[in-house]
Amino acid sequence: MTLAQGGGRDDGARRGGMRQGGDSPAAQRDSGRIERRPLPGRATIARLLARETPLVPVDSAAARALVAVIAILTFLAALCAGAAELVATNSAQWRAAVGSEATIQIRPQPQGDTEALVAQAAAMARETPGVLAAEPFSLGQSERLLEPWLGSGLDLAELPVPRLIELRLDPQSPPDLADLRTRLREAVPAASLDDHAQWLARLSNMAQTIVAVGVALVLLVLIATGLAVAFATRGAMAGNRGIVEVLHYVGAHDAYIAREFRRRFLRLGLEGGAIGGIAAIAVFVALGWISASWRASPAGDQLEALFGAFEIGTRGYLVMAGTALVAALVTAAMSDLSVRRFLAKSP
């Protein structure tokens, strides 16, 4: 917008320097509410209106600095949103994997045949609708499960090592584990069924907490973006006070001036948001590529076990792009609010 375009000049003669809905400057001076401020002369008004520069310059050093600030804050917000989506996706996969399995533990009995008890419990599990498979662990496999705690090379023949039976459940038609637990308790008193419910609850709570922290960080970054834009807008308004007064003198309404500032700052917000959002998406793409290249190595297996394959899918990328768009909209909204408050307080 150039100053030559004006905005509502038709009622300039009617207003004669009056603010809409208020008293005239002369009446305000008579009542002692404001100090006398001479109106600009015709030559000054003509010179300002003939300028071909926009009301809110977008190519200044301050504008470029604001774009950099918005880009950095959007980058951080998009990273937090992507991390929250990554944790939520991996948590759903972990819970699905853990929830599709159950474990039967057979405690050795002094006078009992452990192998017979394991075979009986496995047969009862296989007969249960919804159990796809029941695979008993051998004594050697059960002993190897204790090596991380007891170390290797120990003779565990004299220890009562529990035997395990791994159950694979049908996710489409899950079995009645409560009924299976009751039947096992009656037929094999040494058997206990673990459906991993406690582990699933802890995993779900941990994932929900991490996602909530990520969302809170995104909100805090967006608030910081809004505050930065508010300060920048007030600085731009203070620097263009003379032009704003001339626009009021020729009949421009506050809504017209606020719309011009909102349009300019929306452009700055879209530019900074696009830079920050693309940079955050590039980081996740690079991490996914690195994770895929390290997948066959021990370090890659550990990273994949902790964080998954750094694959957030289409929904994750849409969430990051949406965060960048929200940052741009926050920029426009805070600019509009700051301009209206500034104009409302101006004499």
* pLDDT per 10-residue tile (average), the chain, 347 residues: 41 40 45 47 50 56 84 92 86 80 85 82 89 86 74 68 86 86 86 83 86 91 89 79 74 77 82 91 85 66 62 84 89 84 74
Query: What is the spatial distance between Cα 22 and Cα 177, in angstroms, rounded to a whole number?
Result: 76
Contact 118, 177 (CB under 8 A): no
Query: What is the spatial distance between Cα 311 and Cα 291, in angstroms, rounded to a whole number?
Result: 9
**Do 219 and 168 sit in the same domain of this protein?**
no
Q: Does residue 194 fall inside a structural domain?
A: no
Contact 42, 88 (CB under 8 A): no
Residue 2 DSSP symbol: B
Residue type, 307: F
Q: Does residue 50 fall inside a structural domain?
A: yes
Expressed as residue numbers, the domain containing 212 is: 3-95+202-345
Query: What is the spatial distance between Cα 319 and Cα 324, in angstroms, rounded to a whole number?
Result: 9
The pairs formed by 126-133 with CB atoms below 8 angstroms and a separation of 24 or more are 128/175, 128/176, 128/179, 128/180, 129/173, 129/175, 129/176, 130/169, 130/170, 130/173, 130/174, 130/175, 130/176, 131/167, 131/168, 131/169, 131/170, 131/175, 131/180, 132/168, 132/169, 132/170, 133/167, 133/168
Query: What is the spatial distance between Cα 259 and Cα 53, in angstroms, rounded to a whole number?
Result: 17
Last residue of a domain, one of 160, 189, 218: 189
**Do 39 and 68 sit in the same domain of this protein?**
yes
Q: Does residue 116 fall inside a structural domain?
A: yes
pLDDT at 223: 92
**Do 136 and 86 sit in the same domain of this protein?**
no
Contact 136, 207 (CB under 8 A): no
**Do 112 and 214 sit in the same domain of this protein?**
no
Q: How far is CA 255 from the centre of its chain?
A: 33
- DSSP-derived pairing of the beta strands 101-106 and 131-136: unpaired
Q: Does residue 237 fall inside a structural domain?
A: yes
Last residue of a domain, one of 189, 211, 233: 189
**Do 64 and 119 sit in the same domain of this protein?**
no
Q: Does residue 321 fall inside a structural domain?
A: yes
- Name the phi and psi angles at 114, rounded to 5: -65, -40
Query: Sheet containing 101-106: which strands, arranged edge to edge?
Result: 131-136, 163-169, 101-106, 191-194
**Do 159 and 218 sit in the same domain of this protein?**
no
pLDDT at 295: 65
Query: What is the spatial distance between Cα 22 and Cα 12, in angstroms, rounded to a whole number?
Result: 15
Query: What is the spatial distance between Cα 309 and Cα 295, in angstroms, rounded to a whole number?
Result: 8
pLDDT at 288: 79
Give the count of domains, the chain.
2
pLDDT at 299: 61
pLDDT at 24: 46
**Do 239 and 266 sit in the same domain of this protein?**
yes
**Do 169 and 131 sit in the same domain of this protein?**
yes
**Do 219 and 83 sit in the same domain of this protein?**
yes
Q: Does residue 197 fall inside a structural domain?
A: no
DSSP string, 61-101: HHHHHHHHHHHHHHHHHHHHHHHHHHHHHHHHHHHHHHHTE
Q: Does residue 75 fall inside a structural domain?
A: yes
**Do 277 and 307 sit in the same domain of this protein?**
yes
**Do 146 and 180 sit in the same domain of this protein?**
yes
Token digits for 240? 């263009």
Residue with tokens 């066959």: 296
Q: Does residue 103 fall inside a structural domain?
A: no
* Length of the chain, in residues: 347
**Do 173 and 228 sit in the same domain of this protein?**
no
pLDDT at 220: 92
Last residue of a domain, one of 189, 222, 256: 189
